[in-house]
Structure 1
Amino acid sequence: MSGSTIKPWVVGNWKMNPVQSNAQQLIEEFKQLLQQNPILEEQCQIGVAPISIALQHVQQQLADANRSILTVAQDLSRFAGTGAYTGEVSAELLKDSSIEYVLVGHSERREILGDTTEVLKAKVQNALNAGLTVIYCVGESLEQREAGQAEQVVLQQICDITAVVKADDWRNIVIAYEPIWAIGTGKTASPEDAQMMHAKIREGLSQITALGASIAILYGGSVKPENAADLANCPDINGALVGGASLNAESFYKIAEAFANTK
């Protein structure tokens, strides 16, 4: 399988948004768009990552959609199981609530909330041990890119987790490349620059695991309807991790449609 033949993923990361009434409206509008113009499951995986207190409610609201829409946790605890860890939600508790997917390593977790390499390794390991699929985020800062370190930084972030990912576990890993300088800034890596990095990631994954050619690599950095088709046309860009545009049903639908129709 080559990068161009992987079924794309389009995942909306809602971050710390929106209020409950707006979330309900957003989901209903998105379901209606899918009803009017279906995007087949074999064309594209679609998921949304709401705030933790809304996970089960969102999952229930999505249950009557005309196709499967994944509910994705934005984070999980570095501690496994249950115990005296106030405020934490473990991989096992997510699994017990039928949440099967989780983001790990988003730049905001790394840069703002202090997730270290050791913390991220523990989160990845716990998620995989509990049977979750991990969307593992990597990306460089503008300073690192301008210093010519972008590829080194991104590939190192992938190598950071290899010690806790067993050979078969790579089937449950999705990579999301999110250049930090393009998140929420309106700036986007050109399709050419994004493809170049995705190809390097693909090359690195293929050196790490025999499954490297079949792992989906998503782009996340100010993806919007206007640039989705150009990104989707790149052979090693297998979908999108969408931020702000996922808070608008029509924008999110158009991004999913672009990847579904292009791949």
Structure 2
Amino acid sequence: MSGSAITPWVVGNWKMNPMQADAKELLSGFKKLLQNNEIKEENCHIGIAPSMLALTSVQAELASSVRSIYTVAQNVSRIAGLGAYTGEVSAELLKDHHIDFVLIGHSERREIFNETSQILNEKVKNALTAGLTIIYCVGESLEQRENGQAEQVVLQQICDITAVVQAEQWQKIVIAYEPIWAIGTGKTASPEDAQTMHAKIREGLTQITPFGASMAILYGGSVKAENAVELATCPDINGALVGGASLNAASFYEIAQAFANTK
């Protein structure tokens, strides 16, 4: 089923970048591009996921933009509420600071920080309970793809969270498909391969929830201005989770513009 009627999302994941001065310059440049040639909100949702340190300063900087740009947390604690948990930031604290969006399940969290399905389920449950919207990341390794397990792995990652997502909460989830072998490598799944996986994800979602047909499914994995238009033309690719290219104002703007113009 095509998701062509879905408003696309373009979200920049800054990861552990940049320094403060560079962040200010980056945001200033992006805002100027939007001011000169606005991308209408109804044509594309735009979000930026800075480091935890920069969440509120980025949020304040974005408040003067000509349009809404969401501030997205890159992470959230598996522990809810408040308490003696040094170094943790709960979903409730994010919500209290008017941060309404969070990334969960990114492969770097799964692999480098050993976040298991149990840990991710706790994060998903806490985020939804606090009223956050989740960008939930899924993706397979190169070995899994070469062994013909890609679809099985990705669909299982989605099925993993069904135990903690209540029926009406699925409309608070955006899926981001990121083939692990394409993250930060310069390699990108072909538009045909990406569309095939996105269609499988769409099919799986419609079997899980009535909201499956209207949920946005983003592609991530070395998304650049040069390949954005081709990816945007795929019916079940409803936007992009952008890594390195989001650290360049012009590139990030062009990616957002590509999805806004195509959908």
TM-score range for the pair, normalised by the shorter chain length:
over 0.9
Aligned to 1:175: 175
Unaligned runs of 5+ in 2: none
The SS at the match of 1:211 is: helix
Cross-structure match for 2:78: 78
Distance 2:158 2:183 in 1: 19
Structure 1 SS opposite 2:257: helix
Structure 1 length normalisation: TM-score?
0.99
- TM (normalized to structure 2)? 0.99
List aligned pairs for 1:99-248, cutoff 5 A: 99-248=99-248
How far off is 1:179 after superposition?
0.1
Give the whole-Å Cα distance in 2 for the aligned partners of 1:2 and 1:68: 27
Q: Which amino acid aligns with 1:140?
A: E
Shift of 1:120: 0.1
- Structure 1 CA distance for aligned equivalents of residues 210 and 68 of structure 2: 29
Aligned pairs for 1:2-81 within 5 A: 2-81=2-81
Find the aligned partners of 1:253 and 1:235 in 2 and give their Cα distance.
21
Q: Post-superposition shift, 1:207? A: 0.3
CA distance in 2, matches of 1:113, 1:242: 21
Deviation string 1:71-98 (CA, Å, 9 cap, x unpaired) is 0000000000001110000000000000
* Code of the aligned partner of 1:225: A
1:93-115 CA-to-partner distances (Å, cap 9, x unmatched) read 00000000000000000011111
Q: 2-side partners of 1:43 and 1:150: how far apart? A: 31
Aligned counterparts of 1:172 and 1:40: Cα–Cα separation in 2: 22
Shift of 1:184: 0.3
Hey, what does 1:259 align to over in structure 2? Answer: 259
Unaligned stretches of 5+ in structure 1? none
CA distance in 2, matches of 1:60, 1:86: 26
Q: Secondary structure at the match of 2:154?
A: helix
Distance, in Å, in 2 between the alignment partners of 1:142 and 1:212 is: 27
SS at match of 2:118: helix
Shift of 1:197: 0.0
Give the C-alpha shift of residue 2 in structure 1.
4.2
Give the whole-Å Cα distance in 1 for the aligned partners of 2:199 and 2:41: 26
Give the counterpart letter for 1:209 in structure 2: T
Give distance in 2, aligned partners of 1:64 and 1:19: 21
Secondary structure at the counterpart of residue 161 of structure 1: helix
1:11 is paired with a residue of what secondary structure?
strand
SS of 2:241's equivalent in the other structure is: strand
Between the two proteins, what is the percent identity of the paired residues?
Answer: 75
Distance 2:5 2:193 in 1: 20
Q: Is the 8 A contact 1:2 1:214 kept in 2?
A: no
Query: Are the equivalent residues in 2 in contact too, given 1:139–1:180 (CA < 8 A)?
Result: yes
SS in structure 1 of the partner of residue 210 of structure 2 = coil
Q: Residues of 2 paired with 1:54 and 1:227: CA distance? A: 29
